[in-house]
Amino acid sequence: MGRVRGKAWMQEHVADAYVKRARAEGMRSRAAYKLEQIAGHDRLLGPGMLVVDLGAAPGSWSQVAARRIAPGGRVIALDLLDMPGLAGVTFIRGDFRNLEAVEALEHALSGQKVDLVLSDLAPNLSGIAATDQARALELAELALDFALKHLKPRVNFLVKSCQGAAFEGFLKNLRSRFRSVAVRKPDASRSRSSEVYLLARALREA
């Protein structure tokens, strides 16, 4: 997804320790370490799991997930942008806001329930905070709807959210659907960023 970027951002990016580490370790972006840190702390990933990765491009979360769920695991990844192939990952290119993309994702699942839904979905940014927060919330809510439909009981949903006017409402909604919800801000997430990750565990019975 797009970002508003300038010279100062580029200078910070080039100097970033996680950017350098990602290049040295063959990860597709510094975002890999956000999932690494959360998954390590909360024991999210294990061999044989079926994982859905929403907003996957360029593929760093899928890289981390595919490694941690081997052997026998499978990642189904979706993004509007193209993503080069990865072992153990089925990639679907499409806009998650469109029914066609969701149907393609459901077809790839073949009726199987999912062990973990990851959502790092982000909108193309306008630079207008209220607008960008509303767009981010829309994507988070769509990811939640998908998770509620396709997750196994007693498993997990990890979704990116931006702190803003609607954050508390979304957090309250998550807590009404899951038995526990924790807010995670991994070290790899830049401190000035408003992004946090919400880890929801164990669907409540309908």
Residues annotated catalytic, as ranges: 160
Q: Which is it for strands 50-54 and 74-79: parallel, antiparallel or unpaired?
A: parallel
Tokens 């972006």, residue located: 29
DSSP 130: H
CA distances from residue 110 to 50, 93, 113, 179 in whole angstroms, order as listed: 12, 18, 9, 27
Nearest to 61 by CA among 178, 204, 159, 152: 159
Q: Which is it for strands 114-119 and 151-162: parallel, antiparallel or unpaired?
A: parallel
Distance CA 30, CA 32 (A): 5
